[in-house]
Every structure is written in structure tokens, then in C-alpha cells.
Structure 1
């Protein structure tokens, strides 16, 4: 048994030595084959020089999408960028290199062969990853087909239309082609099996990637035709951030400004303070929310909504100015105007000719002659009609029965302006009508924008 075990060990040792020698011999054969391929190789000329154009097949595997910047009009993503082309000058016998269908070779050889001068037409600051080593490799197949793969972070320009911001959809294009060769020398095509593959569960903060469509075309550049391939990334913006940071706060500020419509018109300080506070707060929200957005020359959907909210908030302050001007003659808080109230006297309603339409038992607050003017019993019927019309249009005068009862019972009951009553209905109705038109319109425009793809 011991003798059999010893024979087995000796056999395995000898087999490993033989395999090592054979592998070393095969590696020498690989090096010999590669050296033979480069003996008469000229890397300064393309493989089919003087004949048909060389065909370069590309595909992209997108690993991640980083931020899309509206300020710089650009986007970036991390990917594996692969190119395939055929160089018949590099064909070799498969049996002479351990039956390898493709040879992994170092970049020392890669620098000695021809390769397409592929570049990104709309690229910006793209770079290849080099940690811990340069992330790239290439293989040579026995029929001369070369596979060149590299990990890139591509930052490219993207022309954005922000008219529907933040309900917008953007299309960002990446153009790939040759830098020097025209379409008669080099032709670019997508890999039919997998042109653009996306990483599963690809997540972005502000956008969601809807689709990635590919195509190829002939581009006229510098009076020469260039063969290019392109990929169009379709993005849709997430509206949640703008709803939480701008839309909902602005709507609540508009609602808050309407509180002043239910305050008494005599509460001047309260209504002025509320109006000014809501205006300043809305201005702060607008400035803070738009500081990171691009300064475009056209009106966006967000600009329109913020402008309408500001108009509603400011108009409530202006509305109180109208109420104060037209309906608050000689009025104010009772405690703050005691000196003015000394100019009033309490009389029975029968002695007041201008108030004959009121019940006889009501008590009114009348101006003295030195304050009220020259109102006399010789007023004409037309004068009384006009006075009654203006009272009904605006509100009951401050010297009516309400302040008279206030002095009698040490209780102040405020009057009410019909302008306020009308505004309580018109303001919410107009704002809700605006939202009813605004949201369907821009949602429809966003769907139309997502369909319009421009290269």
C-alpha cells in the first residue's frame, strides 16, 4: 500500500513537470506568434487601406448615472465602452497557440497596432478609470477580430428645454464617431445583440431614466461626411422635491394671505402685518428655491406658478388698501380713537333726518356740526337717495347704530365691507381655476416633450 502511494506521488510530480514544460512551450509559441504578426505590421495604416471602409462595432454597458446639471447643461455616467473591429493582418493559426480562440495581450502590443480614433462629439471632461490600474483590456481573435474594452466616465453636453420645468422630460444624446476618418474610411455600427445595456436598479436623485434608444447616421462635419452612432437617454424629472420645497409652501402662503379677508376692516394693524409678512415670506421662498436653477430667458412652468402666487398674495394687501380707502372714513379702534369719539353725541334716531329708515329705538353716533360738516334738514330727496346708495354699496357708516351701541354698552361691534365679502369668493375661485388649467396643461406638455426627440 505504501509502495502504491509512493508511485502515485512520483507520477503526479512527473506529470506536473511535463505540463509545466508544455505550458512554457505554448507560451513561447504565443509570444512567437505575436512577434511574427508584428514583423511586417504597419500601425500607421488602417487594415483595409485603399479598399472598403473599416467597420467599428460598439456597445455600452451603463453602470451608473450621476447628476444631470441644468446650470451647466451636461450629464455624466459611468460605463464599460467596448469596440470591435477586424484587422486581417493579425490572423493566426489557432492550433499553434493552445487552441485559444482569443489571445489576451498586454498594452505594450496594443500600442503597436492600429486602432480607431473614436471620440465623443459632444463629450466634456471624460476620463478613463485608473484605480488601482488602468481599467481596460483587449483581445485578439484568430480571425483578426479585436475587442477593446475600457471603463469610462463620460461627461457630455445636453441641450435642455426647461419651459416645462419641473414637469419636464429631457433627452440627452451621446454622439460617437471617428475624429479623423470620414464615412468612406471608417463606418461605425451598434452591436446588434446588445447596443446599450443598463445596470439593474439604476437610481438617480432628480431624474428617472425612462429609455435609451440608439441609431446611426451620416453627419456632415467640416465639409466631410462622418459615420456616427448615437444613443438618446430619455429622462423624466422627479416632481416630489419641488412639491415639498416650492409648490406646497407657496400654496399655503396664498391660503394664509386670505385670512386677512375674514379679519375686521377696523383691524388695520393686523391686516397690514399679515399682508406684509406673507409677501416677504413668499419672496424668501422664491429666492431660496430658484437659486440652484438656471437663469433662462424664457418663462418656465415654475416661474409662472410662483408669479401667480405672488400676484395673489400681493393683491390681498392691495385689496385691503381699497377697503381702507373707500369704506373707512373716520373709523378705527375704539380704544385708540377716544379723542375723536368726543366729537360724537348720542341722540335719538327721530332727530336724525338721514336715518329715518332705521328703527326708532336705535341709538346712533352722529358728528357734531364742527366735525360732520353742514348737514341740515334742508337736504333734498336726491341727496338722501345718493347717501343711501353709497352706504349700501360700501358699508354702514362708522357713526351708525353699531358704534352708538358700542358707547352705550361699552361693546364694539365691527362693520363689514362688501368688498371683503366679494373677495372671499373670488380669490379662492380664481386660484382653484388657475390650478385646474395649470396642472393638466403642463402634464400634457410634458408628455409631448418626452415624445419629441432631437439629435
Structure 2
């Protein structure tokens, strides 16, 4: 019993010393972790990380997955404060994949495009082991949701109507770490951007529009600056338009003067901000309107000239052709005026349609003139025929029929002047003067008036007989040379159509030369 007790006491002492040593080592480890936690914090320790393998289905080919400890963010990190060092340069590129819509009524352009951005944040430390694996063809692919916990360039699209990031089953956003020391972060996503463009339709459909797609950072240029990234992956001005548009699309860079813009704040302070972007050049496809409106309306003008070949006496056929052509052009004009975009002045296509209507209307007026002349000539011929049938005798005296009362001779009437009194026995009453007198009239004044009216009547009849006698040879000649179906009348109408036909052709050619030279050159 005495020999066993010292041995038991020694074993318990050894265990106690070992426990104290383990406690001290654990305390040292805890203190080291506390010191490390005070210097750095990792906000993504709770996130599930994928294994470092290119075979992971969530990682695109050519990228490495992020493993724990790749980024270290200081405790006092503030994502709302831009990185130190002024100015912070953000490189940006533009990859236009498609032009989806150009709305003339809404004055807007919708693009499907990518805007890759590159920047650096010196406050963030990287895992050097993983950075050694980064190369120009292999970048670190990290969770794009982490951009909500990092400083991110606040990009603003000017004149923006709608901005949407395209997503499918998974988000197509990519946030990566590059091999470029001063451009460690790279972000790219597919966006739908709808922005306003100041479209002017004064030269529709020969209009050309320049729509500026501008972006800027909402900070003075001394703090944040935008530059173009001239990487080999950038497809500048490339567009694969899958929609049928009225415009041809081209892209141009912004001018140097447009890269800086001066803004004035509400308190009167002015500052300059950095601008980046490109210009979308829209050239309307004229061929659609050429085949739909210009050529058909011009052909209708030519068809109206065919009526000049039809004989003028074929009234139904000629009128039907001209009026039908005129009404068709009016219908085309209604379609053009209702479908044309709003402009400050009349546009070229409206000028063309109105000119075609005027040319056809001139044909209508020409045929109306011919019908008027034909009717007038025929009327004169009929009057001449009537005069020929009732041609007066060569005697200067006029004899009345049995129904009319007898009147005094012209010789006895000429023997008295208008002022001299006429004897009562020289007067023979007539039907015209009887209307003014009664059987028992004895007023001398009324008698003188009756006598004078009778003298005037006799003199007029004498003058008419002389005129008929003098014009009789001329009327005979007209009746011999102009008949209703005479070739001279037909020749006159044909010459009128022939002259007007060439006048219309020359006028239409001159109009086309002036029109196309002014609006297309």
C-alpha cells in the first residue's frame, strides 16, 4: 500500500500539467483569431463556395471558380465611397448585339447590348495563390451578387426610357477578377436599353438620324472618369439585326467635344462629367417607299396621258380613265398623309403625291377645255346654219306679215326729225305702241313719244337689214368651210391633245430632275 500511493499521485500530476498546457495553447489560438478578425473581415464566409474545378456546371469554360479567402475586405470598408486616388478610371466598352425597335411615334431606339466595365479598388486584397492562376484566357469567376457589397460604378444612361438586365433560368451577369493590375474587376451583362432620340421627319422618307447613346458617371470628372477599353473582345459597331426595320443601321464614335459635358447644379455650381458612348446612324430604307408609293403614283400620271390618245368625242371612255386615275391618286394621298410621321413641314413623299395629283388634274382641265371648245364651235355652226336659212332679202325695206299691223314706210318716217312734230295722218298704230295708249288718249306728249318710238324701231330694222346684207357673204363662207363633222374641227382637237401631251411630258421630266436633285443629293 505504501509503494502504490506515490505512483498514483505522479500520474495525476502529469495529467494536470498536460491540461494546463492545452488550455494555454487554445488561448493563444483564440487570441490570434481575434487579432486577425480585428484586421480583416470576410462578409462572404457564410456563402457556399464551389470547389476549384473547371468541370463545375455553373462555371463557364475558360474561367476559374472562386474559393474561400480569395477577397479580403477591411472592416471600415464603405461601398458608397469610391476607391482612393483621384480620378478613379472606369474603362467601358459597347457590344451591340441587336437593334430591336425604332419607334417613330415614341421617338425611341431599343438596343440589346453589353457594356463591359473594368475598374480597380485598392482597398480590397486578393489571394495571391489564386491570382497566380489568372491569365488573359483564364479569369476568376465570382458571384455577381457580391457587387451589392462592393463599390460598383454608378453608370447612368442619358435620355433613358427603360433599362432592363436580361435574365433566363440563371442570371447572365458576370463579375470576374482579371490579370490586369489596375483593372482587377470586370463586370458584363446583357441589357435591354430604350432611350430617346430626337428624330426629325422633315425629309421623310429620305431622312437620316443621328441618335447618341451616352452614358456617364454621376460624379465630377476629377473624381470619376470614363475611358474606352480597346480590348480585342470588343466588337465596336457590330449589330445583328433580327427584326425587320425601316432603317439601315450604322455606328459611329462620339466626337471629342462630346466626351465632356458641363452641368449646373441647383445652387449654381458647375462641374464637368465624363461622357462615353456611341452614335447610332439611322438611314431610312427608301426602296420600300419607292415601290409602294413613288413608282405607282408616277405610273398613274403616265396612264392619265393615255387619255390624250383617245378621240375627244369618246366622252365616256376618256372621262372614265381620267377620273379613275385621279381618284386612285387621292386614295394613295390619304394613305400617305395618315401614315407619315409628324413633321414641322410637308415632307418629300407628300410633295410627290400632291404633284402627281396636280399633273392628273391638269389632264382633266385639258379635256374640259376641249369639250368646251367643241360645244362652242358646234353652237356657232348651228347659229350660222339658222342664219343661212333665214338670210334677209337685198331690199332695204322691211315688210311685215299679214298677222302684224301695217306701218308707215321708212321714207315717210325719215322725213321727220326726232324733234319735229309728226302729222297725225302719218301715224299708223302698231301692237307695241297700243300697249301704252288707250283709245281715248288725247295727250300730245304721249303722242310724240309714240311717234319717236316708231321712228327708232324703223331705223333699227333698217340697220339690221344692212348688217345682214353685209355679213351674208362671210356667213356663206363659214357655212361652206365648217360643218359639225368636218375634218378641220377634228384636226383642231387633235392638235390640242398633241401639244398638251408634250407639254405634260416635259413638265414631268423637269419636275423629276428638280425633285430628286433637291431631296437626294
Answer whether TM exceeds 0.5 for this pair: yes
Residues 110-189 of structure 1 aligned to structure 2 (within 5 Å): 110-141=147-178, 143=181, 145-178=184-217, 180-189=218-227
Is 1:400 the counterpart of 2:505? The answer is no
User: Partners of 1:67 and 1:29 in 2: how far apart?
Assistant: 39
Match of 1:284 in 2: 331
**Unmatched runs of 5 consecutive residues or more in structure 1:** 1-19, 333-339, 349-372, 389-396, 406-411, 445-455
Distance, in Å, in 1 between the alignment partners of 2:486 and 2:91 is 95
Question: Which structure exhibits the higher relative contact order, with contacts defined as CA atoms closer than 8 Å and separated by 6 or more residues?
Answer: 1
Cα deviation for residue 400 of structure 1 reads 2.7
Measured at CA, do residues 33 and 39 of structure 1 come closer, stay the same or move farther in structure 2, by a change above 3 Å? farther
Question: Structure 1 residues 232, 70: CA separation in 2 closer, same or farther (over 3 Å shift)?
Answer: same
Residues 200 and 182 (structure 1 numbering): CA distance in 2 closer, same or farther, change over 3 Å? Answer: closer
Query: Deviation string for 1:56-89 (max 9, x for gaps)?
Result: 1111111112332322222222111111111111
Q: What does residue 222 of structure 1 align with? A: 264
Task: Decide whether the 8 Å contact of 2:237 with 2:250 is kept in 1.
Answer: no
Deviation (angstroms), 1:141: 3.6
Cα deviation for residue 257 of structure 1 reads 1.5
Q: Secondary structure at the match of 1:124?
A: strand
Please report how far the alpha carbon of residue 279 of structure 1 lies from its aligned counterpart in structure 2 after TM superposition: 1.7
Structure 1 contact 70–293 (Cα < 8 Å) conserved: no
CA contact (8 A) 1:266 1:414 kept: no
Whole-angstrom distance in 2 between the partners of 1:277 and 1:241: 25
User: Which of 121, 139, 145 is 1:108 aligned to?
Assistant: 145
Pick from 422, 433, 448: which aligns with 2:499?
Answer: 422
Aligned-residue offset at 1:378: 1.8
Q: Look up the match of 1:362.
A: none
Looking at structure 2, the residues matched to 33 and 328 of structure 1 have their Cα atoms a distance apart, in angstroms, of 103
The answer to whether the aligner puts 1:440 opposite 2:477 as a matched pair is no
Note the C-alpha offset of 1:425: 0.8
In structure 2, do the counterparts of structure 1 residues 398 and 177 end up closer, same or farther at CA, with 3 Å as the change threshold?
farther
User: Which of 62, 73, 78 matches 1:42?
Assistant: 78
Of 35, 49, 57 in structure 1, the residue corresponding to residue 91 of structure 2 is 57
User: How far apart are residue 379 of structure 1 and its match?
Assistant: 1.8
Correspondence for 1:300: 347
Identify if the C-alpha distance between structure 1 residues 82 and 222 changes in structure 2 by more than 3 Å, giving closer, same or farther: same
Specify whether residues 376 and 95 from structure 1 end up closer, same or farther in structure 2 by C-alpha distance, changes over 3 A only. Answer: same
CA contact (8 A) 1:77 1:153 kept: yes
Number of residue pairs the alignment of both structures matches: 373
Larger Rg: 2
- Shift of the 22–440 alpha-carbon distance from structure 1 to 2, 3 Å rule, reads closer
User: Following TM superposition, by how much is the alpha carbon of 1:28 offset from its aligned partner in structure 2, in angstroms?
Assistant: 11
| Displacement after TM superposition at 1:415 (Å) | 6.0
Question: Is the alpha carbon distance of 1:328 and 1:206 closer, same or farther for their aligned partners in structure 2, counting shifts above 3 Å?
Answer: same
Residues 224-239 of structure 1: matches in 2 within 5 Å?
A: 224-239=271-286
Query: SS at 2:102's partner residue?
Result: coil
Q: CA deviation at 1:254?
A: 0.6
Q: Which deviates more from structure 2 when the two are superposed, residues 248-257 or residues 209-218?
A: 209-218
| C-alpha deviation, 1:293, in angstroms | 2.4
Instruction: Give, in whole Å, the separation in 2 of the partners of 1:262 and 1:21.
Output: 90
CA–CA distance in structure 2, aligned partners of residues 98 and 22 of structure 1: 14
Match of 2:106 in 1: 72
Alpha carbons of 1:21 and 1:68: their partners in 2 closer, same or farther (altered >3 Å)? closer
Q: After superposition, what is the alpha-carbon deviation per residue over 1:191-233, rounded to whole angstroms, capped at 9, x for unaligned?
A: 1346652447656532222443244521123343221113012
Alpha-carbon contact 2:52-2:65 (below 8 Å) kept = no
1:282 and 1:273 map into 2 onto residues whose CA distance is 14
Matched position secondary structure for 1:287: helix
> Deviations for 1:162-188, whole angstroms, at most 9, x for unmatched residues?
33322232212101112x312222111
Please state how far the C-alpha of 1:398 moved relative to its aligned partner. 13
* 1:159 match: secondary structure: coil
Partner of 1:82: 116
Relative to structure 1, the CA distance from residue 342 to residue 250 in structure 2 (aligned partners, 3 Å threshold; closer, same or farther) is same
Could you tell me how far 1:423 is from its partner in structure 2?
1.0
- For 2:65 and 2:334, locate their aligned partners in 1 and report how far apart those are by CA, in whole Å: 71
- 1:261 partnered with 2:308: yes
Partner of 1:252: 299
The correspondence for 1:312, drawn from 359, 375, 392, is 359
2:70 aligns to what SS in structure 1? helix
Change (3 A) 1:22 1:294: closer
Residue 253 of structure 1: how far off its partner (Å) = 0.9
Query: CA contact under 8 A between 1:275 and 1:317: conserved in structure 2?
Result: yes
Greater mean deviation of Cα atoms: 418-427 or 109-118: 418-427
Q: 1:198 to 1:297 in 2, by over 3 A?
A: closer
Separation (CA, whole Å) in 1 of partners of 2:127 and 2:513: 74
User: Counterpart of 1:378?
Assistant: 470
Per the alignment, do residues 29 and 98 of structure 1 end up closer, same or farther by CA in structure 2, a change over 3 Å counting?
farther
Q: Judging changes above 3 Å, is the alpha-carbon distance between structure 1 residues 377 and 29 closer, same or farther for their aligned structure 2 residues?
A: closer
Shift of 1:151: 0.3
**Deviates further, 202-211 or 102-111:** 202-211
Cα root mean square deviation, aligned: 3.9
Equivalent position to 1:323, from 344, 356, 370: 370
